[in-house]
Amino acid sequence: MKSEKSHHTKHKRQFNGCVELIPPSPDYIEFIDSHRIWGFAIRHLTYFVLQENPNCSGQKTLPPDQLVLVYPPEIVVLKGWRLELLVGPLVDGRVARIHAEKHLGALILEEAWVSEIHVLLHDSVILKQDQLEDLTSQQA
């Protein structure tokens, strides 16, 4: 009996197959560029806009996509390739870190590639497209 009892406790599963825990969702998204790390609470994301990069002008060497994330009181602008692949994980709250890589390395076609991150101060007025373009070009 004693050996049988110790055998059961040694192989006992932590949750007995009734409860499965998933990893906790991150509270913040980190935006990492070559100069700093910015962190914004995921729950504070007001809205986002995925659009063509207005500074691309059809040049294949420039990132064609732009993803604008609006947080009070800042706006985060991501420029890169295949940024539409970030939308699902962003909506689900699964994005923990975005790292900007200026120079393209080994391209993985199933992944987004962020080449630029710009954090812009947000006054209480919604920025118009021309204001956004001016601000991002000043930061480049």
The tokens for 106 are 């080994």
Vertex 46, ends 102 and 71: CA angle to 5°? 50
Element (H, E) at 68: strand 65-70
Residue 14 is predicted with a pLDDT of 52
What does the pLDDT read at residue 90?
93
- The conformation of residue 21, written as its DSSP 8-state character, comes to P
Distance CA 109, CA 11 (A): 43
pLDDT confidence of residue 125: 45
pLDDT for res 15: 53
Q: What is residue 74's three-state secondary structure?
A: strand
Give the pLDDT of residue 48: 96
Q: Mean pLDDT for each 10-residue chunk of the chain (140 residues)?
A: 50 59 86 92 94 86 93 92 94 93 70 92 56 64
